């Protein structure tokens, strides 16, 4: 089984609520009908547009992300998914990834996940070898990120390769889940009780981010998370016509 991450780019004016809803319903159902083993949809809809945190490198920006589990990253399901999603965005790029889960998210219910997701798209600095960069990120930064923030779900995806043509370079994709109040309150984001603790946690986090080169050339987006079909479980959605 392999995990794919599709990054959908679309201008803010075109990434409307109706577009987001169609993606997580009609389009998601078409993906399930392909026979994939898991589908999760992230969209930048009305529930998250007030977010304080957003960093944009790509133009047009990232408006949605769809993760899929498939038997083959080069098989017919993956190819068909790329075609479906490619027709639904200004640009859609697919990546084969390896998934690590330092902080598992309990999302057994196939509805909007509590709080909101924060997705980060990392690029390895040219001055770091892949081995050094991965060590700093996974073995050092992971602990800092979990200790200094109010995340209750944290997944790391290391990009193996792009599976669609002309995909921009992305070396890793982070999926985090935060409490709803963190969307607009930095004190909640850093899970702090007073100004001194807040300053300390921000300093620790920014220092660690700089060590992995994520203080530059970075895309982040706050999103609503919809687990449509849980991977490695019984199907919760029946294909149309079944």
Domains of the chain: 2-229 (3.30.70.100)
Distance CA 136, CA 121 (A): 16
Which residue in 67, 74, 61 sits closest to 174, CA to CA?
A: 67
pLDDT of residue 233: 63
Q: What is the pLDDT of residue 111?
A: 87
- Whole-model pTM: value is 0.93
Q: What is the pLDDT of residue 108?
A: 65
Q: What is the pLDDT of residue 1?
A: 93
Residue 167, Cβ density class (10 Å: 0-12 exposed, 13-18 middle, ≥19 buried): middle
Contacts of 5 (CB under 8 A, 6+ apart): 65, 66, 67, 94, 95, 97, 157, 159, 173
Helix (H) or strand (E) holding 154: strand 153-162
pLDDT for 241 equals 39
pLDDT by residue, tens only, the chain of 242 residues: 999 999 999 999 999 999 999 999 999 999 999 999 999 999 999 999 999 889 999 999 999 999 999 999 999 999 999 999 999 999 999 999 999 999 998 866 678 999 999 999 999 999 999 999 999 999 999 999 999 999 999 999 999 999 999 999 999 999 999 999 999 999 999 999 999 999 999 999 999 999 999 999 999 999 999 999 988 765 444 444 33
pLDDT at position 98, please? 98
């Amino acid at each position: 089984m392999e995990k794919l991450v599709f990054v959908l780019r679309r201008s803010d004016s075109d990434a409307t609520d109706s577009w987001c809803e169609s993606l997580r319903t009609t389009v998601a159902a078409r993906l399930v009908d392909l026979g994939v083993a898991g589908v999760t949809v992230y969209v930048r809809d009305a529930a998250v547009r007030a977010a304080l945190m957003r960093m944009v490198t790509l133009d047009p920006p990232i408006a949605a992300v769809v993760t899929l589990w498939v038997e083959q990253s080069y098989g017919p399901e993956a190819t068909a998914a790329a075609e479906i999603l490619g027709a639904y965005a200004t640009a859609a790029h697919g990546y084969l990834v390896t998934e690590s889960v330092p902080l598992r998210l309990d999302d057994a219910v196939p509805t909007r996940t509590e709080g909101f997701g924060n997705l980060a798209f990392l690029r390895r600095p040219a001055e770091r070898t892949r081995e050094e960069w991965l060590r700093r990120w996974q073995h050092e930064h992971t602990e800092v990120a979990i200790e200094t923030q109010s995340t209750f779900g944290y997944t790391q995806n290391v990009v193996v390769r792009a599976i669609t043509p002309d995909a921009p370079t992305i070396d890793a994709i982070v999926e985090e889940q935060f409490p709803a109040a963190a969307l607009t309150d930095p004190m909640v984001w850093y899970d702090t009780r007073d100004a001194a603790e807040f300053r300390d946690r921000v300093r620790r986090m920014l220092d660690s981010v700089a060590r992995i080169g994520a203080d530059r050339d970075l895309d982040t987006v706050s999103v609503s998370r919809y687990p449509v079909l849980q991977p490695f479980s019984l199907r919760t959605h029946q294909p149309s016509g079944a």
